[in-house]
Amino acid sequence: MRSDVADVVTDSEGNFVERRGLRVGSLDPTEPLGYMYDYWRWLRGMTGCQLSNVDTAHLMRAGIVGTLHVVNVESSDPDDFRFELFGFRVPLEHVEKPRQIGYDVYVDSVLRDYNTVRLTAAPRLQRVRTQLGPAYYNYRRLIVPLLDKRRRVSRLLVGFQLEPGDGTIVKRR
């Protein structure tokens, strides 16, 4: 299901990020993000919803391995968030922290979304379209919170489902 509202940010170099919120209830449980969401709901209801409760066999069944990040968000400063797992199929250079990705227009929106999930402990599903440098990226992204022993959000599982046109090189005139 498509949202009527899109958040679009641009920079002076022609890069842009468009994020459109989607309802998590619109996810198909037979698709990777839908399976991941249903598994997270089970974790939340039946376990402490901690990283140690995650069964990687479920992530493999979801088909999300390779496009999954685990982000440590224990710090209250988004600039200190760091990747504990960086999806090898995500077409960006692997970095230790989201702040190091290299496109401020993209990083600022990613950190805002990660911090929103950290603060609200609520999942977030979005369709994202971007142009970063010479390429377009199109994907749906699901961010779900994981808790620590004090029941505070400490990690995020971030799953991506790439869409047609992802990684298309832009021909500049």
Question: CA 34 to CA 87: how far, in whole Å?
Answer: 18
- Of residues 164 and 155, more confidently modeled: 155
Pairing of strands 82-85, 124-132: unpaired
- 6-162 under CATH 1.20.950.20, yes or no: no
Mean pLDDT of 97-112: 92
How far does Cα 5 stand from its chain's mean position? 19
Mean pLDDT of 33-50: 97
Amino acid 172: pLDDT: 57
- The model carries a pTM of 0.91
Amino acid 4: pLDDT: 57
Confidence class of residue 3 from pLDDT cuts 50, 70 and 90?
Answer: very low
Confidence class of residue 134 from pLDDT cuts 50, 70 and 90?
Answer: confident
Residue 24 φ then ψ, to 5°: -65, -25
Amino acid 2: pLDDT: 43
Q: Is the pLDDT confidence value at 92 over 80? A: no
Q: Is the pLDDT confidence value at 51 over 80? A: yes
The answer for residues whose C-beta is within 8 angstroms of residue 132's C-beta and 6 or more apart is 15, 103, 105, 106
Mean pLDDT of the chain: 91
Amino acid 171: pLDDT: 65
Q: Is the pLDDT confidence value at 8 over 50? A: yes
Q: Is the pLDDT confidence value at 75 over 80? A: yes
